[in-house]
């Protein structure tokens, strides 16, 4: 008697919980694990409605760091992964978690810093030299420290500069372990240098004393790649819908949509898909 009541009770609870799901479950949708830079710059806000208008497919974007997005893809919790760390992406494909990798667009990183510029690096064209000077001056530097694409790029640049930033850990090298926005917030509050993608920087509103100090170095080039999560590993992946997205974003139409996205007249992302160049 009690058990019967208990089971009915659990059944009612389950119905209540599931009823909270959004009503249009019949809508076509895909889940895309991407990075905070693509969402926070407003790019997705611009291009996804165009995609939906054309195909009727809803794109649900989970904005995480590159490391977390790839982990989400590995677990099969997303259909498509769209990040910016070539080395990790290739590893992802090699391990069999991703297929149909295509290079989609690039933007660039910039080094920002306080207007007071304690390391005297403003205006340099050589980012590695600038980083070396920052380390020598022990000027505060805010790093994302979160295995994101930006973090990976930052570490590569430190290596080129011949500096081990860990030596300054806890002193001038501050790892926030968070996304681009929070890291910039921290840098602004601490008057620290930081590496950021231009897209996030342009739409970032809490700059305080920060400004761009180094830009234009070829090594600051930041490539984005898109991949379908391998249906062979996760049978439930929406292969057709996911490929529709990947095909569209690398089509002339999609590439134009990316190029058309501007903030204050400035283009943020540069489409560069080449059929032959696909990895």
Partner 1 sequence: MSDISAAFVTALGLIARLDVNLVEIVALSLQVSLTAVAVAACVGLPLGAAVALGRFPGRRVLIVLLNGFMGLPPVVVGLFVYLLLSRAGPLGALGLLFTPSAMVIAQATLITPIIAALTRQVVEDAWREYEEQLRSLGVTPRRAVFTLLWDTRFSLVTAVLAGFGRASAEVGAVMIVGGNIDGVTRVMTTAIALETSKGDLPLALGLGLILITLVLGVNAAAYVIKEAAQRKFG
Q: In the complex, which residues of this chain contact partner 1 (CB under 8 A)?
A: 9, 13, 16-22, 31, 36, 40, 45, 60-63, 74-77, 178-182, 184-185, 188, 203-207, 234, 236
Those residues with Cβ within 8 angstroms of residue 277's Cβ, 6 or more apart along the chain or in another chain: 103
Distance CA 213, CA 190 (A): 16
For residue 42, the minimal CB distance to partner 1 (Å) is: 9
Of 77 and 95, the one with the shorter C-beta distance to partner 1 is 77
For residue 17, the minimal CB distance to partner 1 (Å) is: 5
For residue 103, the minimal CB distance to partner 1 (Å) is: 25
How many other CB atoms are found less than 10 A from the CB of residue 44?
19
Of 5 and 274, the one with the shorter C-beta distance to partner 1 is 5
Token representation of residue 78? 């997303």
Of 44 and 158, the one with the shorter C-beta distance to partner 1 is 44
For residue 168, the minimal CB distance to partner 1 (Å) is: 25
Of 11 and 123, the one with the shorter C-beta distance to partner 1 is 11
Distance CA 255, CA 162 (A): 37
Cα dist. 166→87, 109, 169, 276 in Å?
22, 21, 5, 40
DSSP 8-state symbol, 122: T
Hunting for tokens 């054309």 — which residue is that?
54
- The secondary element (H helix, E strand) that includes residue 72 is helix 66-75
For residue 4, the minimal CB distance to partner 1 (Å) is: 16
Of 156 and 207, the one with the shorter C-beta distance to partner 1 is 207
């Amino acid at each position: 008697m009690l058990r019967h009541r208990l089971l009915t009770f659990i059944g009612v609870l389950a119905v209540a919980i599931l009823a909270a799901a959004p009503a249009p479950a019949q809508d076509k949708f895909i889940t895309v694990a991407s990075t905070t830079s693509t969402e926070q710059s407003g790019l997705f806000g611009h291009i996804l409605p165009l995609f939906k208008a054309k195909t009727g497919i809803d794109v649900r974007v989970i904005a995480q760091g590159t490391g977390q997005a790839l982990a989400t893809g590995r677990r099969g919790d997303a259909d498509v992964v769209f990040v910016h760390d070539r080395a990790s992406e290739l590893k992802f494909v090699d391990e069999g978690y991703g297929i149909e990798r295509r290079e989609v667009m690039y933007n660039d990183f910039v080094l920002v810093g306080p207007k007071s510029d304690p390391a005297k690096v403003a205006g340099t064209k050589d980012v590695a030299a600038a980083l070396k000077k920052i380390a020598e001056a022990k000027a505060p530097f805010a790093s994302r420290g979160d295995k994101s694409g930006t973090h990976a790029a930052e570490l590569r640049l430190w290596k080129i500069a011949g500096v081990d930033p860990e030596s300054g850990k806890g002193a001038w090298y501050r790892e926030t372990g968070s996304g681009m926005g929070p890291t910039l917030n921290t840098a602004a509050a601490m008057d620290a240098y930081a590496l950021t993608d231009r897209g996030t920087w342009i739409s970032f509103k809490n700059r305080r004393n920060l400004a761009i100090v180094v830009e234009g170095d070829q090594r600051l080039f930041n490539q984005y790649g898109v991949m379908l999560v391998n249906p062979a590993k996760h049978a439930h992946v929406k292969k057709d819908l996911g490929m529709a997205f990947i095909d569209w974003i690398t089509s002339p139409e999609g590439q134009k949509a990316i190029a058309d996205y501007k903030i204050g007249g400035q283009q943020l992302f540069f489409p560069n898909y080449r059929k032959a160049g696909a990895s």
